[in-house]
Each structure stands twice: as C-alpha cells, then as structure tokens.
Structure 1
Amino acid sequence: MNLKLKRCEYWMAAQKQMKRVVPLLLVIMPACSIAGMRFNPAFLSGDTEAVADLSRFEKGMTYLPGSYEVEVWVNDSPLLSRTVTFKADDENQLIPCLSLADLLSLGINKNALPEQALALSENSCLDLRIWFPDVHYMPELDAQRLKLTFPQAIIKRDARGYIPPEQWDNGITAFLLNYDFSGNNDRGDYSSNNYYLNLRAGINIGAWRFRDYSTWSRGSNSAGKLEHISSTLQRVIIPFRSELTLGDTWSSSDVFDSVSIRGIKLESDENMLPDSQSGFAPTVRGIAKSRAQVTIKQNGYVIYQTYMPPGPFEISDLNPTSSAGDLEVTIKESDNSETVYTVPYAAVPILQREGHSKYSTTVGQYRSNSYNQKSPYVFQGELIWGLPWDITAYGGAQFSEDYRALALGLGLNLGVFGATSFDVTQANSSLVDGSKHQGQSYRFLYSKSLVQTGTAFHIIGYRYSTQGFYTLSDTTYQQMSGTVVDPKTLDDKDYVYNWNDFYNLRYSKRGKFQASVSQPFGNYGSMYLSASQQTYWNTDKKDSLYQVGYNTSIKGIYLNVAWNYSKSPGTNADKIVSLNVSLPISNWLSSTNDGRSSSNAMTATYGYSQDNHGQVNQYTGVSGSLLEQHNLSYNIQHGFANQDNSSSGSVGVNYRGAYGSLNSAYSYDNEGNQQINYGISGALVVHENGLTLSQPLGETNVLIKAPGANNVDVQRGTGISTDWRGYAVVPYATEYRRNNISLDPMSMNMHTELDITSTEVIPGKGALVRAEFAAHIGIRGLFTVRYRNKSVPFGATASAQIKNSSQITGIVGDNGQLYLSGLPLEGVINIQWGDGVQQKCQANYKLPETELNNPVSYATLECR
C-alpha cells in the first residue's frame, strides 16, 4: 500500500469540504470539553446519506487499517524497515499486528515471553496490550514510522548493532561470473597487441560457495596463456562464528607471513560480529609520467591491471588474493620504460576485546606461482585471545618438512597513547643446499590517532630478523638463487623483467621498517606520508619507498603536491615531484546557468612532474562526466616533455551501464607512436528466474526481482537499473549488515506502480540475496462512481482485487470521485461506506486498449 498516495487521495477529496467546515469548528470548539466530539456529516453535505460513516475518524483514526511499510523503532532507536499490518480495535485505534517471529527479530528475550504466547503459532498476530501491558506503541504513519517501547527487562542484552543469525540470508542458488577484459594495440617502430582477461566464477547452493579465479593473457610474440589462480569451496559455520574453506586458500597473516595453501582452513570471521564489537587493503599511490599501464601483483599473481592518465593516481578498490603479502606495483609508461616499487601490506596491531578470541587453522600443500619451488605439506595455527587490562595474547605454530617455527606475542591498548604489539618468532630451517639454520625475528607495530590534531599514525612497524632466520617460503626453493619465473618467460621478447623476478637465499631479510601517517589541516587541506625500507644480510642493497603528499581545495580549485622516491636492488633510484591543479569548470558554469549543467561535470587540469634524471613532463586536459547519473566519463589530455622536445596526448571514454562497463582510449606522440586501449567488464548471474547481466560483482550481492517494473533506476550505484524483465543486480552488499535496497519511483513509466519502493536484506557472506518488489502494471483511473442515481457517499472505501497480488485501495472523494492506480483494463471495484447491507456495492468497468496511451483514464461507473 502506497502510504503517501493514500493520504494524498484522501486529502484531495476532503480539501474542498474542509474550507466550509473550519469556520463552524471554531464556533463549536468550546463545547468539546463538555461532550464527546462528534463530526456531523451535514457539514460536508446537506444530505447525510451522501457521506460515508466517518465515526472512525472522529475517534482519532487518521489512517485506515491495512499494511504499511514502516521503519520500526525500539526504545528510541531505529532498528529495521518492514511491512507491518495494522488492525483497528473496538475504539477504532490502530494497533500493530506483530507475530512471535517479529518480536524475536526485534530483540525480545524469548525467555521473557508468557508461556501462552509461546504456545501460539509463530505467525499468529499478538495483541501487545494483552500479552505485554508495559509495552507502548505509537504508529506515526505520516512519517512511515512505528515506535515501540519495551521494558529493558525483556530486551536481550545484545551488543549495539547486533543482528540475530536467524535473520542472515544465505541467498538463492545461482551461477556467477565476473569478467574483465582489456587490450591494447601499439603502432609505431615496434607494433604489438596485448590482451588480458580476468575471470572470477562462482556457484552458490545454500550456504556453500564455490569460487574459481583464472586469468588469460596473450602478447604479439607469445601464445595465449591461461593461468588458474585458485578454486575454493567455502561455507560459514554460524555456531562457531567461523568459515570453512576447502581448496586453494591463504593462511592467516596475523602472526606469520601468509602462504598459499591447497588444503583446508578453518578460521573465525570477525565480520559476523556487530560493528560495535569489531575494523584493511592499502591504498596504492603513484605518479604516471604519461598514459601508463599500472599492474599490481601479490605473491606473484596479477591482481589488478588498469591504465592511468599522466599525473598522480590512487587505487583504493583492490581485491587482494590474501590478507597479506606485499604489493608489487609496476608503472609501464607509453615509451615502455618501467617504474617498479613495493607497497607493504600488513595488518594493524592485534587487539581483541576481553574474552573474545580469534583463531585460524590451515592444513595443506604449499602452492606457488614459481616454477622453482617445491610443494611440501604445511600446518599453520594461530590463536589470539583478549585478556583483562586491555591486553591481548597471541601465538602460533608453522610446520613443514624443512621448517619449524613458534611465535608468541602481546598486544596492548595504551589508551591515549595508541595501541602496540610485540612478538618474537623462533624458526629452525633447512635450505636446499642441506644447511641448517635457526634464528629469531622480532616485530613491533604501533598505531595511534590524535583526536585533537587529527594526526593518524595508521601503522608504524619494524621487524628485525637475525642472520639465521628464514621464512617457510624460503625453504621451498629448489636452488639457492635463481628466478621465480620460468626462464622461457624471460626469453619472451615482450617480457620486461625486474629485480623481483630473482632471489638469493644468501641475502636473507634483515630489517624492515614501514610507516603511514596522515594529517588533516581542516579547511587548509591534508598531508600524508608513507615510508618503507627492507634491508638484507650480506649486502648493502635495500628496497626503499618514500611518499609525501599534500592536498587542498580552495573555492573548488583542487591542488595536489606529491613527492615519490623508490629504489630497488640492481636499479637506479627514481625520484619524482609533481604538481597538479584541477579547476571545476562545471561549477562555474552552473552558477551562471541556474544549475542547468548539473548533469555535466567538467574539470580542467594541469600537471607538472620532474624526476631526478632531468625529465620534465607537463600536461593539460579536460575531464568530466555526462548523462543524468554521470555514468559516461571522458578524459582529454595533451602533454610535453623536455627531453627530445617530445609531445603526447590521449583521449579516453568510459561508460558504466546496468550491464557492465566499456572503456576505450587513444594515445599518440609526435614520433608517430600510437596506442589504442580498450576494455569491457561486467558480470552475468544465472538464477531460477533466468539470466541477469550486471556490473562487476562484489563478494556479496543483491538480486532485485520486480517483474514488470522494467527500466527502473536503482537508488544505489551509478547506472544500475532493472532490465526489460524487471531484474537487476546490486553489487557489493555488506554481509551480516542491513542493506537498504530502493527503486526510484520517478523513473517508472506511467502504467507501473509498486507496493513498496524500499526494502531491507541481511545477506550472509558470499550470498546472492533476493530483494522482491510487487509491481502493478496497469492504468491510473479517475472514476465518477454513482449508486442509485446518486454519487457514492464521500469517504467510502474502495478496493480492487488484483490477480496474484494484494488489493488496490482508495477513498471516494467529493461527488463520487475515486482515483485508483495499477488497474487492469477490465475488473470489479468493491465500495463500502458502512456496515449495513445497503451500504456497499460493486462497480464493473471495462476500458478500451487505447487508454494505455493516456496517463489517466476517466470514466463514470454505475455501482450495483
């Protein structure tokens, strides 16, 4: 039932009459304190039979009984949204009809309920006044809200934000496929074509989730290569707040370095805890000198690849293959030069609440993408336990045929001084040359946010390892030094190798420092600093990465200054300083055009960068977005470099629609080199109701089912709308949390009506949950209804039964006028204005098909 429409219909019908009634009400008001107030129907019409029985409204009823979509509040806190049925009591007051299941979902302690109530059917309507005399309810239907006040004694003492597992939705059976294809065509002195395809497939059956991850790549001088990265079968075990994983997975990284395993893992899942009981993928930053290809690897696998325009960039939507493992970033410029650096990826200090625990157990065979490593069987176990006094104890064990390691540590909440942890790992290792080693590794982590200044030390850490300390991965190499990639790959003409392709066990890791700090300055912008350095035994070579940046906005003008320093063993240091300015052209235009450019965002940019090799790059450009939802974006740039007086430019577009994303770009330089980049990404979902195309899926997603409501915009995400059948997929839902899914009624055609436009779902991890909307496809009718040569009484209620749906209801206005929407071309309308036999009738109607072309149909009906 459309609450706002029903109120609007009634008010429009009564408005004319109220103009005559108000002066008379002022006259009789003093008498209200003497006798019960009664509304005289003669005020509306001299013929009292022309007015329906309005006694229910005299007694304070402002809405008719029925089902309403409301937000339920419990003890002054919003809890959930749902459809609630309201009934009228003997005094014509609306009372909510709540079942036993409803009460339990609202947090009522089952043990506090009367035995008689528990004996009733779970879906029986309970009269709160009888079973719970101390419960108060207040329907505020004008605000679409129901307020409930329960005694604290019958409320379960759950953590704030707690959602009972019974409400978690495992979703529907479905096949899922994410695809991301990109390619480029280089033309010039050396022509080449390269292609990359990322495929993530999945099958959901009940609580089980099967996932498969594969990539395919091909170059001009290399055959197509299909690389299978992982296959997993997962399900949650709710009683243990845990997740079971079979197949290819990664061990936990809280205590030890994460390793790839093919086997079994059982670990606790903190996402099942409410927000009040639980809080990382890093942001990758860099500076591109030209339009560049950015590739990110983790543990040897390509997990992200994209093309960036010249200037600084940020990548914050990573989906790493594991919860740890440093990220190797490669920036390949248009002239094929490369910049390679490593971004540390580690967890913040380990802390658990008192009495809470976190564990992980992994057993299986070691997996590696390197041809030069063997695959021993591995066991790893970790346990973290919250103790009193803000102390957390943790430890673990990691074993294989050539490796034994034990770790112990403590985490401490220092209050206003932040949080820290310290641990030590003792390891015994056997290397491929038969040598035996033992050593220790000491790790210190610190995190702190200064509320007064806004300074956030996201993570500061240092790990020191003695000369005899090796990791489990070190013991799997079958040579003391060599390459981690197949030598055939290094012989590939298209392959450009870097220092990460090589290893030498004689240079074991020594010290590793990392820090990430940010500082906001209010209206004066913000500054960030990140640094990392890895040193090795038996050599003075080191990996170093330092990044400093400042961002600010002055009257809409965005300014960024950044400095990057990166140095890897065997390479020269790269130092880049950059300046970038963005001017909001569309804002200035809209201020002079009364906002007419609101759907066209446009920004002009200027960038300057200089490296330590004397190369200076400058570029200017225009970028922006078009269409109502800003889902068509474009970028035009032209740049100059001082070396060889070279120039280059690019033009790119990206369209993000309901069925996926398309992108294309063209770049060129003054030496005749040209490059075309293109890509397409999206997903398809096969379910019991057919096939639905989608934007790229997240881990957890929502399938909208609204048959008949085609091409309706979804109020979440850019470019998402229902397809021609009324189905759509909303990606990236939040597991174990309430997700509001809404359809935009303004985007519906004139013959489509929805019972509700918003609903809530609570998906489990990896689920595809269904959000259903009942759509009525039909005409909007404004009828004049007559009964025995007179107009049907004012205030009479009308209803039309729709096949396989709820009733469509309305209220008769002045002169027998009745507005109903979502009607078929032919049907029956039931009208009632009292309890007597002679106070109800039926009106049959039949409209020609030509009325489907009209926004509103008009007809006079005879009620019998």
Structure 2
Amino acid sequence: MSYLDYGAGSDKMTTLDTRGKTLKRTMLTPLAMLLVASTFSARADNYFNPRFLSDDPESVADLSGFEKGLEAPPGTYRVDIYMNDGYMSTRDVTFEYSTDGKRLEPCLTRSQLATLGVNTLTLPDIAVMKSTACVPFTRLIADSSSSFDVGRQRLNISVPQAFMGNQARGYIAPELWDNGITAGLLNYNYTGSEVRSQNGGTRNYSYLNLQSGLNVGAWRLRDNSTWSYSSGAASNENRWQHVNTWLERDITAWRSRLTVGDSYTAGDIFEGINFRGIQVASDDNMLPDSQRGFAPVIHGIARGTARVSIKQNGYEIYQTTVPPGAFTIGDLYAAGNSGDLQVTVKEADGSVQVFTVPFSSVPMLQREGQVKFAATAGQYRSGNGMQDKPTFFQGTSLWGLPDGWTVYGGTRASSDYRSFNVGLGKNLGYLGAVSADITQANATLPDDTRHQGQSLRFLYSKSLNDTGTNLQLVGYRYSTQGFYTLADTAWHRMSGYTVVSEDGIVNVKPKFTDYYNLNYSKRGRLQATVTQQVGRSSTIYLTGSHQSYWNTGRADEQLQIGYNSTITDISWGLSYSLSKNAWSDDKDQLLAFNINIPFSHWMRSDTRSAFKNASASYNTSTDFRGRTAGTAGLYGTLLEDNNLSYSVQTGYASGGSGTSGGTGNAGLNYRGTYGNSNIGYSHSGDYRQLYYGVSGGVLAHENGVTFSQPLNDTSVLIKAPGAGHVGVENQTGVRTDWRGYAVLPYAMDYRENRVALNTDSLANNVELEEAVVSVVPTRGAVVRAEFKARVGMKVLMTLTRDGKPVPFGSIVSYEAGQSGSIVADGGQVYLTGLSPAGKIKVKWGESANESCTATYSLPADSQNRALSYSSAVCR
C-alpha cells in the first residue's frame, strides 16, 4: 500500500516502500491514481459519491473541492516550464484557483513573464501592475493559455508570437542572475617528486600553486602565486613567484566586465598581452548560448613518467605529472586568454622536450547589431626578466552588420609604439567564414632605431559536413620588414634567449628557450588546424604553424598530426610531432602508437566485477635519434563512486643519450569530499621516482569553513543542515560534510545550473523537502543552493477518533503546520521528521467540528529504526 506525503510549500507526493527500506519521490502513486483519476477528474456538473470509497460517508474527507475537475489543490509546485512548446526552466510556481474555480492558474509576476520572453512593455494592463503582483496573463493577453500537467509536473504556457519579445532562446533575465554570497576562497595545488639514481644522487622537486580570492557582492578579488623548490647535485632553487592580482565585477547594462589589476588583453585583433592596469571589455558569457559566436588543447608525448610545465607570456600557468605515452591537457587555468603556450616536458632522467603551441583566435564574425569592445590602459607586464614594462593604451571593437558582414578595428599606443588596425569579415555561407585586416605600426627598438611597417592577416574557417572535414582555423599573416609589435619594443636588447638545464646529464649541450632576434623581423606565418572524419569511427587531425623571418632562411616549425580510430569499444591512435626553433639547430620529433582495450569488451553489461571499469593499454614511441620506448598497462576506477583511479604500467626504453632498460610506474588518484590526492612510483633505467600531490579548495562563509575539491572560477555552496554525508548527483566524490555543507566546484556563468542531492544516500532519519535546486550565478560568484532537511523519525501512524479511523483523505499537519500528509485507508498516514513526542492536527473539512488534535509518544527504540509504527487517538 502507498501513502501520500505533502511537503511544505510543495504538493509533490512520496511513495513509501512498506518494508521500510526505500523512499522515493514520485508524481503519482496507485492511491493517487484512485484519488485523482477517479475523483478529481469529475466535471462540475457531476457529483462524486463518497460511497465509492467507503460505505460510511463520514469516514471520507470533504472532496468537493475536486468535483469541478481539479487534479490537485492550490499550492506551490516545482514544475518544468514550457513556453510555446519550448523548454525554458524548472522552478517553484504557485498555483491559485481560476475565476471559475475549475482549474489552477500559475501565479507569475511581471518579471517572471519577461524572463519567459513575453514583451510586457507592449501590454499596458500588465506594465502598470505591481512588480510583486500575480499577473492573470490568460485574461490580459488575447489567445494565451496555460495548462498544468500534474502527473508530469509540467506547466505549458502559450502566448501568441505578437506578444513575445526578441529575447533569444535560452535568455535569462539579468534580474535572475545571482551575485552570490560573501565568501573567502583558496585553491591549492601541491605536487612533489623525489628522483633517485643508482649512483646515489637524489633530486627533489616541489611545486605549489595558490589561488586565493574574496567575494563581496558583485566584486571579485583574486590573487595567484606559485612556489617552486628543487634540490640536487646540479642546483638548488627555492622561489616564490607572484603571478597576478586583480579586482573585477560585472557591468550588466553594458554586458561587460570591469577589471582592475593584472589581466590580459584579448587576442582577436592585436596579439594578446598581459598588463597591469584597468580594462572594460565585453563578456560573451553574458549572452545566451544561441547568441555566442578559444583555449587550446595541448597534445604531447612523454617517453616516461614526466613533469609537464606550461608557460604563457613568461608565467608558469600549469604543471602536472603524466604517465608514459601520448597525453592531452584540456583544462588549462590560464593567466591569459591568448599568447603562444610554451610546453616543457621534463623526464625523470632530466632530459627535456620544449615545444610551442600557437594560440590564436578564429574569424571575428559578430551577429547583426552585436558590438564587442574592449578598452585597456595600463603597463605591459611580462614574466620575462629581459623585457621592460612600457605604459600603453589599447582600444578595440567589432560590430556586426547586416548580410553577414562584420567590421572591426582598434589602436594600441605607447611611448615607443603606435599601431592602428582595420578589418572586415564575411559569412560566406556554404563557402565558410573569412576575415582580413591590416595593421600599420610605428616602433622604436632597443637600439633606438625607428621602423614602420604593415602586417596583413587572413583567417578562414569552414566545416565540410558532406566530407567530414573541419578547417577549424587556417590563417596567414604577412608582415613587411619594418613591422614590429609592442612586445618587440619591450626587450632590453636586440636578441637573446634563456637556458634550460638538463639535470644529471653530462656532456650534453644545454636547451635554449625564449629565443628572439629583432634583427630578423617576422615575415610570414601560416597556421592551420584541420580534422577529417574517416568513416564513422576514425579521425585524422593536423595542427601546425610555420613562421619565417626577414633576412634569413630560418623558420619556426610546429607540426602535430595523428590518426584516431575505434573498433567497437577498442580505441587506437597513431601520432607524430615536430618542433623546431629558427635560432636553434635542434629538431624534436616523436612518433607514437597507442591502443586501449576496456575489460568490459569481454564482460556482460550487468556484471559487478571490480574490473568492469578497467582497461588495458599499450603505447610505443621513437624520437628518430635511436631512442625508443614502450609501455603496457592497466588502469581503471574503484569504489562505489568511481572516485579512486589507478594505473599500473611496465615497459622498456633503449638508445639515445639517456640510460636504457626496463621502465614501469604505478599510481593512485583519489577524488574526495575534502580534496584530491595522488601518489605514484616509477622507474626508468638507472632512475627511480616517487611523485605525489594534493589539491583542493577552502571556502569560508557565514556558516563556517567548507573544504572541497579544487574550485573553478564559479562555484556553488550546498547548504543542507542535518543532511550529512549525502552525495551530489553527477559529481564524482562530492558529498556533504558532517554538518550538511558541500561545494559544487564548478558552475556555468549566467546559466541555470541544476543542483541535486542523491536521496538514496540520506540517513534513515533525514528527508529533504526538495532534492533539486536551480541557481543562476554570475561569473566568479559563490552561490548558495539551500536544501531544507527534515531531521526526525519516519513513522507509519494509525489515527482513530471516537473508536473509528479518521476520515480517508484527511490532511495531517505538524511542525506548526509547515508539513503535512494525506490519510489513507484505515486511518494510516506516513509522517517524516517527527520528534519522539508531540502533537499533530487532522483536518477533513472546513467547519469547526471537522478537525481534531492527537498527542503521540513514539517507542523508545524508534530512533534506531528506518521506519517506526505507532498509533494515536485524535480528540
């Protein structure tokens, strides 16, 4: 038998498994079907005979309110809202009786209607109503209607297109954006390793990245610092480095963002640079998805277990440890949104690979009428000690015109540099998208010589759906001999480089990075990113660039090409990479093959084996200098939440300048409620390496301090006091702490985020009034998602009055009327959140003699049971 439970502010129903083991939220139960389908669907001119439910009419509550066709009583329901058959959002909506009392009408305010796309300004009767008043829009908007599907909890609204505004699909009114709570934030990421050689030498490395912040209203204060430490035979280092500090906030009316402090300019018109100063720039995230017009993915190959470091504009922005073979990094927390990325792969034996990933923007097309702008004033800022910090000003804008045209341009100026850009873009339809622009620049170089020149840029992108070809970006830039950039004028000297040491390796010439030579100005640069679909399950990709210089035949060359394919659930790939700097004779090449076979390939889909989520892998690589390496391994996930991942690999390495021999590594990575941790061990030839790390977030707020996994820019604080150790849906390892607090470490800016708790993980004495909350955070916000938990016992109680069960369909309320349930047959009612003793009120009609109060006292051992049984007399 099932029983109905009406929670506070919600008339959703709860099904009780009479075995007392499982409680599930549902929309309709068998009893509800009897009560609703048979009773509530009666028409106004029909009379429902209560004898269908009982021979004694007095044992049935007053159901006259449902004889007019109502399927549910008035109240607040969480519903999915569909406007003109399109999904809009999920939220709580209050429903009231219509004027004829035959149906329920939603109580929507003027701003809520505007959020749904209704142009309320063109409707005088609605425009003059109070902002908090319920708008009877079905009576004020001709041919509009609403219907509430109780079973599906779906509200359908229909409004003629003539009364709809011009908001794009997915538009969320700024009034609904949440700036979040006042909070202090700290992100930490620590990695360390110890490398030992058979000759007794030991090298230790440590790296710590701290990202701290403070949120007050719409203001966001952020700071980013790093600490690195190394010790060994070659050198010792102990260094703190401040990366950047900035203060920012939204300017909603302009759909833009104000930034004060250390930030970066966009790389759409001029090359992106870091600066310290002030900037006001458009933020496309404030636009709905349908109106939004690039961070790169790093591909590389490691010979063994290696540390990967990524620098941008002279600052280290990322560091991690990767296993042997091909690796992909797609989660950069970059200090800049443009500027080439310098990737350094340092092996356990001290050998180093260095390559550059070009970072450019796609064609700058804007929608018709859309304007994107940025104005910046400040000091050029570089992490390279060989550059000065000139003060500069920059202004750029892009304006979308009719027929797919976009015009754009800008200017950048300092004491030694002045440039002006103008360009035009066009949507060519089937032929793709193209843009072209020219920049005129006047520069004074470190040797005090003055130069002037022009740079012509051409960008093109196209997806050939019929052939599966995607030209993501094809670009060419031609610069005259006298063309220089602002960064060129900041160098102390006309040429230079940085030396990278190779720890523990003797008789090997050092590696050089950060090359530049202003005597050979840039001439032509070709870059391309192309993917080609082959059949249904294979892809070829190519990314590359070629930078030539005036007065020399040397060139920078970068190339990555690969083939990826799947056979059922088995995946394999072949890749090649090339990196060469114009001012060095070294050329780094790697050819690699990898294959991955999941164990589930040989298992039934319903298996519970611990190896269900395991896979076997093999990869091999060669650098064309006689050094080859290969590994075979096993990796997968464990635990109920799959938050413990493991990997074990063994292999070989031979040839080259390093030592040869067997290789192997094993590692564990745990994602928990209070943070992440990892540990691993590897050996290669004469070297042994132990590596480890911890990362996480700390959030300080008015209710205390909550520890979490690493925080993204925007996050959600889950507040559910009393609901401790409850899982968060679709989040690996995220659970509420012992107090009922948790942090959802990332959320989408200016979008509706659905936050749901897993009710199956609730304790026996806890129940949530609502398990789902929706929030719309602004960028950088910490928004609160609050859940109300009833903490108390779950009881199946039998209520009697004058020796008879209380009337079927009576409403039982408790907790000062804030919670309630419906009485089923025999006076039985399911109640949650009860204290050991107290009073409950029963009501089955509107008159004074159609209610009573019962005093109950539960058995002493009720708190140890999932479900208790009791009875009480109502007087």
TM range (shorter): over 0.9
Is the CA contact (8 Å cut-off) linking 1:17 and 1:44 kept in structure 2?
no
Match of 1:44 in 2: 53
Partners of 1:381 and 1:375 lie apart in 2 by 19
Which position in structure 2 is the counterpart of 1:641?
653
Contact between 1:218 and 1:225, CA under 8 Å: does it hold in 2? Answer: yes
Aligned to 1:144: 153
Select the residue among 666, 678, 693 that pairs with 2:681. 666
Q: As a proportion of its length, which structure holds more helix?
A: 1
Distance 1:493 1:616 in 2: 20
Moved more, 537-546 or 166-175: 537-546
Q: Which residue of the other structure, out of 827, 832, 845, is the alignment partner of 2:843?
A: 832
Instruction: Output the CA distance in 1 between the equivalents of 2:344 and 2:76.
Output: 58
Name 2:82's counterpart in structure 1: 73
Please tell me whether residue 748 in structure 1 is matched to residue 762 in structure 2: yes
Q: State the match for 1:250 in structure 2.
A: 264
Give the superposition deviation at 1:503.
2.6
| Distance of 2:587 and 2:63 partners within structure 1 | 85
Contact 1:658 1:695 survives alignment (8 Å): yes
Between 1:174-183 and 1:53-62, the stretch displaced more is 53-62
Q: Which of residues 562, 572, 578 in structure 2 aligns to 1:549?
A: 562
1:31-430 matches, within 5 Å, as: 36-88=45-97, 91=101, 93-115=103-125, 121-128=130-137, 130-132=139-141, 134-188=143-197, 189=199, 190-220=201-231, 221-430=235-444
Q: Secondary structure at the match of 2:151?
A: helix
The separation in 2 between residues aligned to 1:430 and 1:17, in whole angstroms, is 85
TM superposition shift of 1:771: 1.1
For the residues of structure 2 that align with 1:771 and 1:611, how far apart are their CA atoms?
A: 52
Amino acid corresponding to residue 354 of structure 1 in structure 2: E
Partner of 2:830: 819
Structure 1 Cα separation of the partners of residues 114 and 366 of structure 2: 29
Provide the residue aligned with 1:651 in structure 2.
Answer: 666
Q: What is the identity, as a one-letter code, of the residue corresponding to 1:542?
A: A
Kindly state the Cα deviation for residue 588 of structure 1 after the two structures are TM-superposed: 2.1
Q: Distance in 2 between matches of 1:492 and 1:42?
A: 91
Partner of 1:510: 523
Please give the secondary structure, in 2, of the residue aligned with 1:5. Answer: strand
CA displacement, residues 119-140 of structure 1 (integer Å, 9 cap, x when unaligned):
5543334445554564311111
Match of residue 545 from structure 2: 532
Say which SS state the counterpart of residue 407 (structure 2) adopts: strand
| 1:716 alignment counterpart | 730
Letter in 2 for 1:721: R
Whether 2:527 is the aligned partner of 1:521: answer: no
Helix, strand or coil at the partner of 1:42: helix
Q: Distance in 2 between matches of 1:522 and 1:505?
A: 47
Give the Cα–Cα distance (whole angstroms) in 1 for the partners of residues 740 and 494 of structure 2. Answer: 60
Of residues 638-647 and 206-215 in structure 1, the stretch that sits farther from structure 2 once superposed is 638-647
Query: Following the alignment from structure 1 to structure 2, what is the Cα–Cα distance between the partners of residues 223 and 578?
Result: 34
Give, as a single letter, the amino acid of the residue that structure 1 aligns with 2:576.
Answer: W
- Tell whether 2:629 aligns with 1:617: yes
Deviations 1:449-508 (A, max 9, x none): 1121221101011112222111111111122223468xxx97999999633234322122
Question: Is this contact kept in 2: 1:56–1:92, CA < 8 A?
Answer: no
- In 2, Cα distance between the equivalents of 1:599 and 1:645? 33
1:372 deviates by: 2.2
Deviation at 1:106, TM superposition (A): 2.6
Structure 1 residues 510-530: Cα deviation after superposition (integer angstroms, max 9, x where no partner): 221111011123433111111
Which is further off, 96-105 or 848-857? 96-105
1:8 to partner: Cα distance: 6.6
Cα 1:372–1:91 change in 2 (3 A) is closer
Structure 1 residues 761 and 239, CA, compared in 2 at 3 Å: closer, same or farther? same
* TM-score, length of structure 1 as denominator length: 0.93
Distance 1:224 1:729 in 2: 33
2:861 aligned counterpart, secondary structure:
helix
SS of 1:815's equivalent?
A: helix
What is the letter of the counterpart of residue 227 of structure 2? W
Sort the Cα spacing of 1:108 and 1:598 in 2 relative to 1 into closer, same or farther, 3 A.
Answer: farther
Contact 2:264 2:274 in 1 (8 A): yes
Q: Distance in 2 between matches of 1:225 and 1:493?
A: 21
2:873 is the counterpart of 1:859: no
Tell me the secondary structure at the aligned position of residue 837 of structure 1.
Answer: coil
Change (3 A) 1:835 1:491: closer
Superposition pairs of residues 468-483 of structure 1, within 5 angstroms: 468-483=482-497
1:361–1:580 Cα change, 3 Å = same
Distance, in Å, in 1 between the alignment partners of 2:692 and 2:828 is: 59
- The SS at the match of 2:513 is helix
Q: Secondary structure at the match of 1:111?
A: helix
Listed one character per residue, the Cα deviations across residues 375-395 of structure 1 (whole Å, up to 9, x for unaligned) are 221111112112223221111
**C-alpha separation between the residues in 2 aligned to 1:299 and 1:62?**
64
Aligned mates of 2:223, 2:503 — CA distance in 1 = 28
Match of 1:780 in 2: 794
Task: Give, in whole Å, the separation in 1 of the partners of 2:596 and 2:162.
Answer: 58
Supply the distance in 1 between the matched residues of 2:661 and 2:152 (Cα, whole angstroms).
Answer: 64
Between the aligned partners of 2:136 and 2:266, the Cα distance in structure 1 is 51
Unaligned runs of 5+ in 1: none
Residues 195, 118 of structure 1: alpha-carbon distance in 2 compared, 3 angstrom cutoff: same
Tell me the matched-pair count: 844
| d(CA) in 1 for partners of 2:86, 2:227 | 51
Partner SS state of residue 72, structure 1: strand
Cα deviation for residue 849 of structure 1 reads 4.9
Distance in 1 (alpha carbons) for counterparts of 2:28 and 2:269: 66
Gaps of 5+ in 2: 1-9, 16-24
**Mapped partners of 2:644, 2:502: distance in 1:** 41
CA distance in 1, matches of 2:74, 2:370: 47
Q: 1:103 to 1:413 in 2, by over 3 A?
A: closer
- 1:696-711 matches, within 5 Å, as 696-711=710-725
Answering whether residue 470 of structure 2 is matched by residue 456 of structure 1, we say: yes
Contact conserved, 2:531 with 2:541, CA < 8 A, in 1? yes
Match of 1:434 in 2: 448
Q: Distance in 2 between matches of 1:255 and 1:381?
A: 10
Distance in 1, Cα, partners of 2:663 & 2:748: 43
Deviation at 1:93, TM superposition (A): 3.1
| Equivalent pair of 2:457/2:477 in contact (CA under 8 Å) | yes
Offset, 1:680:
0.6
Contact 2:138–2:146 under 8 Å retained in 1: no
Task: Report deviation, 1:857.
Answer: 1.3
The CA RMSD over aligned residues, in Å, is 2.6
Contact 2:798 2:871 in 1 (8 A): yes
Q: What is the CA distance between 1:658 and its match in structure 2?
A: 1.7
Distance 2:794 2:134 in 1: 34
